[in-house]
Structure 1
């Protein structure tokens, strides 16, 4: 008797062969790629770059290791795609929050709040930025800054329109962009490492209040203005 068949008088019983599970209709290559990147983000953030193995990502995703290599030929390609996905999700999350807001000044506060909320809710994405900087120090422009540069146009227009309308001081738009971007970037990492007693909404309100009104009282500003 073998595992190929079992013989009985008058009939032949074949071994049971399980049916292959049908792939869900939504299990497309794009969906599978997204699942792999989501799993990789968690594994890289938990284990670090050096300690992450492709098998661990496959196990987290519930696929064979070979499937990972079908989409990403190396760990480096997988990691960089994971960081890129994180930044794309950040941009989409922030944009969906501020797009319904008509007033550009209110938009800024909503965008800052959404940015801080995103990293509060996805702490592992902040870890990916740290890992990228540590592992790929020779990269001229980290992924975060690549995304910031690629999508700065919409905020350039917002600030330029505010200046033209007389609602914002006539200072170089590039200076405004750099200052605001660095401010929220630094706040995000301070929150990540040390935590904060305020909610993202409260932090955004404080940042915007100081940004719009400054630290000095009106009388002190007038005094300094007269001093030249």
Structure 2
């Protein structure tokens, strides 16, 4: 976060600084998502957030820095929402289920966040690690011990935890974007049910699984 210095003789109001920064980011998120990166003007963001254009540059040194901060803010809000929705759930499988449902609910209620991820990919194709992937790597650490405990309890079959997380998160990511692009009207609960049914139960019957095992498949 860019640090602002207080005027000499006046104490710095950190709460006001944070509120103003978030107001700028909220306005920027909506405008970037609606207009795209090239057509977004900093003056419009300033007007929408009720500050002078120069004030925006006190918080963010460039349009690029501001845009990337909006994407980071979107991903942080997703992570915080999932944490809040799952932290009090004791059963690990119920916690995983709620995490998936909350993921889809977040993007359904905040379609601008999906648009920001699309814009970042379009405008910064050479960026080594997109913001979504940065946050995904951090967030995966919260699920690793949950999957490990479920394997130890015999509730999930033995397999690499990173494989489970990779496949499940890719399925969620693809489902979210497919529905976003096609403007499907499936509810977050319906999206989660489809993903969880395939991930938890698979598509083969127990008899077919046994037959393939006997074949060595």
TM-score, with structure 2 as normaliser: 0.90
Q: Is residue 141 of structure 1 aligned with residue 129 of structure 2?
A: yes
Deviation string 1:11-45 (CA, Å, 9 cap, x unpaired) is xxxxxxxxxxxxxx996100100000000000101
Larger radius of gyration: 1
Moved over 4 A (4+): none
The CA distance in 2 between the partners of 1:210 and 1:166, in whole Å, is 19
Q: CA RMSD in A?
A: 1.4
Higher RCO (C-alpha under 8 Å, 6+ residues apart)? 2
Q: Any residues of structure 2 matched to 1:44-193 within 5 Å, and which? A: 44-193=32-181
The CA distance in 2 between the partners of 1:27 and 1:147, in whole Å, is 25
Alignment gaps of 5+ in structure 2: 1-12
Deviation string 1:103-141 (CA, Å, 9 cap, x unpaired) is 111111111111011000100110000100111111111
The CA distance in 1 between the partners of 2:154 and 2:28, in whole Å, is 47
Counterpart of 2:20 (choices 29, 32, 47) is: 32
The CA distance in 2 between the partners of 1:55 and 1:160, in whole Å, is 50
CA drift of 1:145 comes to 0.3
More helix per residue? 2
CA drift of 1:197 comes to 4.2
In the alignment, what sits opposite 1:212?
200
Deviation string 1:158-217 (CA, Å, 9 cap, x unpaired) is 111111111111111111110011010001001111133431112212211211111011
The CA distance in 1 between the partners of 2:112 and 2:185, in whole Å, is 20
